[in-house]
Amino acid sequence: MAHAALADVMLMTPEEFLVYPLENVKAELVRGELRVSPPGGGPHGSAGARLIVMLAAHVDPRRLGRVFGDGIGYQLLQLPRTVRVPDASFVRADQLPPEGIGAGLFKFAPAIAIEVLSPSESASELQEKLDDYRVAGTPLVWVVDPVKRTVMVVGRHTPLLVLREGERLSGGEDLPEFSCAVGEIFEGIARDLREEKATPIVSS
């Protein structure tokens, strides 16, 4: 289970979540419930980092916004007491505070959320994340699978699409000029990763 035992009955506010002491885990807040997961491992970290680098190389020179890793929490105001922390994300320039990024959570949804699958993640947990991003208005989610070496593209106005090596990933309506080869995301990751379970299947 991705949920730690200590989180089973614990309810908190986003403000309490921000200051709750946690180490070596990824934490999110879902309807007031603390959700914690173990580190995703090398393939997980590598795929996420490569996407961050490629996105930032496109976004930063054009001043289109900012690309973030998993240190940024998004309080989804359309949902009660919910903070999602994608493995990577893109925020448009017009979403950023004009006075600069301050302390605390972003109180909006990212323009692109990137979730890299880890062995501890279940299909229901992934679907819940996708549903939350949809309700919050995120136009585009990329679900990266280092085992199958695929990227599932979940768009707000487009059919669900699964891209494989040899195909290209594009930035959708908010980054229409961005494109990268799917194979580049998994460069350096072993091809014989043991698949402990099937890739979660989600609805569009």
What's the confidence (pLDDT) of residue 195? 52
Q: How far apart are CA 137 and CA 99, in angstroms?
A: 24
Query: What mean pLDDT is predicted for residues 58-66?
Result: 97
> Does domain 41-185 sit in CATH 3.90.1570.10?
yes
- Average pLDDT for residues 50-60, to the nearest whole number? 97
**What percent of the chain stands above pLDDT 90?**
76
> In Å, how far are 91, 135, 141 from 138, measured between CA atoms?
10, 8, 7
Average pLDDT over residues 134-150: 96
The whole-number pLDDT of residue 178 equals 97
Q: What share of the chain is helix, strand, coil (3-state, %, to 5)?
A: 25, 30, 45
Q: Can you give the residue ranges of every domain in the chain?
A: 41-185
Per-residue pLDDT of 77-129, as tens digits, reads: 999 999 999 999 999 999 999 999 998 899 999 999 999 998 888 899 999 99
β-sheet bridge partners, residue 89 = 68, 113
pLDDT top residue among 156 and 141 = 141
pTM: 0.87
Q: 3-class DSSP state for residue 100?
A: coil
- The mean pLDDT value for 9-13 works out to 78
Q: What are phi and psi of 172, to 5 degrees?
A: 70, -155
Concatenating the DSSP letter of every residue in 103-150 gives: SS-BSS--SEEEEE--TT--HHHHHHHHHHHHHHT-SEEEEEETTTTE
Q: What are phi and psi of 49, to 5 degrees?
A: -65, -40
What is the pLDDT at residue 6? 45
Compute how many other C-beta atoms are within 10 angstroms of the C-beta atom of residue 30: 20
| Burial class (CB within 10 angstroms; exposed 0-12, middle 13-18, buried 19+) of 102 | exposed
pLDDT of 200 over the 70 cut: no
Average pLDDT over residues 159-184: 96
Q: Which amino acid is at 179?
A: S
In a 3-state reduction of DSSP, which class is residue 94? Answer: helix
Q: Which amino acid is at 73?
A: G
- Which pLDDT score, from 0 to 100, does residue 203 have? 56
pLDDT at 8 over 80: no
